[in-house]
A and B are shown apart, each in its own frame.
Chain A
Amino acid sequence: MAFAPPRLLPLPAPAPARCAVSARHHGGRTAPELSGPTPRVVVVTSGKGGVGKTTTTANLAASLARLSLPAVAVDADAGLRNLDLLLGLENRVHLTAADVLAGDCRLDQALVRHRALQDLHLLCLSKPRSKLPLAFGSKTLTWVADALRRAPNPPAFILIDCPAGVDAGFVTAIAPAEEAVLVTTPDITALRDADRVAGLLECDGIKDIKIIVNRVRPDLVKGEDMMSALDVQEMLGLPLLGVVPEDTEVIRSTNRGVPLVLNDPPTPAGLALEQATWRLVERDAMTAVMVEEQERPKKKGGFFSFFK
């Protein structure tokens, strides 16, 4: 187990974080400050399926790329590949890591570049019906991450979309990772799986784990029908990277093949994911969580509905 300092300290030096906060008040920062050596290899995982790993990966990657931080999004979900769809790249994935292993193409040829975001690349582990060579399953992504690190222009981030469960796909996906983003929904089944996954990650030496609580419905939280993000945090004991509300725009953005963070005008979930990206880049965590609407007479839909 590598007890590297950055892994031990998920909340590094609080002082710079404070500075960042105060800087925010004076408005108009244009980019977060990149913390730590690159490329940073981050696995997005959850244990339970369908909680939003792929959505999170696509949005973090797109957001990073827009901040001119080159990102490679790796779809390690060999069985249920989806990341290509969310990025709108499904027609362009011809070569995968399996082809690279077999010597049919080079790694740089298997990276699919996004049309609009020059700094965003997608790498798929294998084609849905083809099978990955068994023997180096667990080593494939370690090699890939290492090769990307040694490339002439290495990416700043390698984001790995982990498959559900804790079987061979999970083992493969976490193998090269140094940090983890643990996605969970505020319900007890997802939480139990998240706790287990956090335990396995820690056993593997990945100590820098942050949670994204996805699909939160403030109205239900207020009526105490749903756990709040703070309840979730209390149960897992991990720093919060973001709290993403339930948002119908998520499905629309999936259908359009454009990550939510690129939506104009911004949407609540897209904005939350964008904030999460900034925190990820700065190795920051949330210091406060939005809980409820302040009692203040307001127009019902607010600005957002006006823009829609």
Chain B
Amino acid sequence: MAPASIAISLPFRLLLPPRPFRGRATWPRAIRATASGDTSGVAGGERKVALERRVGDLKALVASVPPAVASIQRNIGPNFVAGFCLGIAVLAAVARQVIIRSRERDNRGSVADLVRRGQLKSGQRGTAKLRTYDDPFNNPLVKIDEDASTAQMFGKEYRLAPVRLTKEQQELHQKRRSRAYQWKRPTVFLREGDSLPPHVDPDTVRWIPANHPFAAASSEVDEETAKQNVYQKDGVPSRVKAEHEALQARLEASNDVTKLPSNSSMQHNERPLRLSGKPFGNLQSSEFGSELENQDIEPGKHSCDESLQSNRLEGQ
């Protein structure tokens, strides 16, 4: 209890002093004034009385201070509660600040953050009220009059200077550049440190540092598949299809209830044990959707499907 009371009396010392301090601040000036009066020795009597009275007041004030302190200590009960509340409030404020700071550090500058802080209006973003179209060269605000070599824009009139660049000058610049910059567009990207594949011409290689956004570890699809994926016009995307088929094959293969297949080709599918015992005919049946939806068997794929849908809604 003792350390607590010391800690709590601190704010009270901070709170109480103003009154005595104010008193003291006025007193010394009065005393000094009377003291200077004393040395001059004029009208000493009246002033002496006043001085004595004031010194007496001061003594009384000084005498009254210890009881005040004592009374503070006596009233420590309710004060302690008040101090405690104050302390809690200060702690809460600090904690809140810390939380806010750390949250800001997490997503400072994100659009969501800016919207939250009211610097961006979420409702407005991306929704454009379409303006009816005006010829940008000739409308009430803009008139470009190339013959008269003037342009009026937003109520101001500008002088137009004709473009002087000729075909010949253009070609000269092209020639200059083709001499200055001799370049062949690289067609193969390789990660720095990797070895050069045998069939690749070193002149066509662009070496990419490991921290570059293109420098994926190793791609799971070969070039031909990737190309087919880009050109695919309809149907189920190839990897999604392959995963479905592999999952189906695994389900058919595993008739054993307790055995968990640990096939490395299916990283996504850490299937719950009990599911493999259920009778599954076709994965793509409605059963697949309804029963497995919440089992999180393919976290990556589910999120993908959702986004597929959201994109597809717009893409129609």
Contacts and interface: CB of A to CB of B under 8 A. Distances in A.
A291 interface: yes
B92 to A, nearest CB: 34
B210 to A, nearest CB: 10
B293 interface: no
A237 B177 CA distance: 10
Interface in B180-230: 180-191, 206, 208, 212-217, 219-221, 223, 225-227, 229-230
Interface stretch (B8-16, B56-64, B160-168): B160-168
A134 to B, nearest CB: 5
B239 interface: yes
B125 A88 contact: yes
A160 interface: no
Nearest to B172: A237
A119 to B, nearest CB: 12
Contact of A291 (B144, B156, B158, B217): B158
A132 B216 contact: yes
B295 interface: no
Interface string B130-174: 110111111001101111011101111111111111010110111
A175 B185 contact: yes
Give the interface size bracket for A toward B. Answer: 35 or more
A296 to B, nearest CB: 5
Interface in A160-178: 167-169, 171-172, 174-175
Interface string A127-151: 0000111111111100110110011
Given A103-B221, A195-B177, A278 B311 contact: no
A224 interface: no
B226 A133 contact: yes
Given A24-B135, A116-B128, A134-B191, A203 B178 contact: yes
A204 B276 CA distance: 56
16 contacts: A24-B135, A24-B144, A101-B219, A105-B311, A113-B314, A115-B127, A132-B213, A137-B214, A139-B227, A199-B181, A200-B185, A257-B126, A287-B162, A288-B149, A288-B162, A302-B155
Interface of A: 10-11, 21, 24-25, 27-31, 66-67, 78-79, 85, 87-92, 94-95, 97, 99-117, 121, 126, 131-140, 143-144, 146-147, 150-152, 167-169, 171-172, 174-175, 195-196, 198-200, 202-204, 207, 230, 233-234, 236-240, 255-259, 262-266, 268, 271, 274-275, 278, 285-294, 296, 298-299, 302-304, 306
